[in-house]
Amino acid sequence: MGKLKIDLGFSLKRLDLVVKGLVNTQFLGGYKSVFKGTGLEFADYRLYNPGNDDASLIDWKASKRVNQIMVKEFMEERNLQIIFLVDVSSQMLTGSAKKLKAEYIAEFVASLGRSVLTSGDSVGLVLFSNKIVKYVPPESGMKQFYSLTESLTNISNYGGFSDLDNVIDFVFKNANEGSLVILVSDFIYGLKSDRNLKLASRKFDFISAVVRDPLDMKIPEGMGEIVLEDPYSGSTLLVDPKRIKKEYSKAGVSDLNKIEKLMKKSGADFLFLQTDKPFIKELVSFFKKREGEWR
């Protein structure tokens, strides 16, 4: 049984430090507060303690009413349940960077999943291509982490083409309302309809993580004639990179913009990752943006 090569050491260490850091900042108790409908719920007001309290918790309107500096107190609302929908179609085994798309995605999912599990929450996994390849129902505990990594690194799980509509329909029918759902794909095949996405975005906190290889976005310098393949029909075309370089890059950017607009229109969030760049920085920036939008 073939295995993908993934190195979680650096990613896990960095993400653990990030999560610990968030606990002591404006994130109101950690990563949970950046997920809609989960994590922390307003409970009451109390006097501000300059030595212990985060100043971002001060409610200035309430403070003005009572002529004292007051902060909001929060209580745990419920445990977070996160479900990763991971594209394992054949194009995930391609790449021009150090890591294949599949390897990069495996590290991203395993690292974030482990941090969630370490915090006592539940993680589930759906591997999909043009069919549902494997479903690992949400569970807590570190045993679940090994189930995740085993599934993500097993090459026999990869192949076929990507059907995003099918996996969104699957999770809509099988996951609990209010779950955090993260769809991870290169979105090369795209969605046939936005109907299921809109429905899923109402039922879940829905994030679309678009993972692209640099070659998906632009043609490198110094390449000779290349063969391009239509992901839908499978037809190929031999081209001179110099003649299509600008159009190729424009098409890549245009495609991303269309995906982002579709996500916003449907009520889902959009995260872009590229396999030649560490995902930690992008992930933290994304979390901070979400937290800022909901404050």
pLDDT in tens, 61-71: 888 888 889 88
**pLDDT attached to residue 23:** 38
Predicted TM-score of the model (pTM): 0.77
The three-state secondary structure class of 83 is: strand
291 within 8 A of 34, measured Cβ to Cβ? yes
**pLDDT attached to residue 251:** 85
**pLDDT attached to residue 22:** 43
Which amino acid is present at 145? F
The residue-averaged pLDDT of 74-103 equals: 85
Q: Of all residues in the chain, what percent are helix, strand and coil, respectively (each to 5)? A: 45, 25, 30
**CA end-to-end span of the chain, whole Å?**
48
270 within 8 A of 198, measured Cβ to Cβ? no
Cross-strand partners of 71 = 46, 58
Query: CA 234 from chain center: how many Å?
Result: 28
Domain residue spans in the chain?
9-16+79-221+258-294, 40-76
How far is the C-alpha of 251 from the C-alpha of 53, rounded, in Å? 49
pLDDT at 24 over 50: no
The residue-averaged pLDDT of 179-202 equals: 92
* Alpha helical stretches, state H, 176-278: 195-203, 214-217, 241-266
276 within 8 A of 214, measured Cβ to Cβ? yes
pLDDT at 217 over 70: yes
pLDDT at 96 over 90: no
- Tokens of residue 98, six digits: 């150090």
Report the percent of the chain where pLDDT is more than 90.
41
31 within 8 A of 123, measured Cβ to Cβ? no
Out of 3.40.50.410, 3.40.1190.20, 3.30.200.20, 3.40.390.10, the CATH code matching 9-16+79-221+258-294 is 3.40.50.410
What's the pLDDT band for 208 if we cut at 50, 70, 90? very high
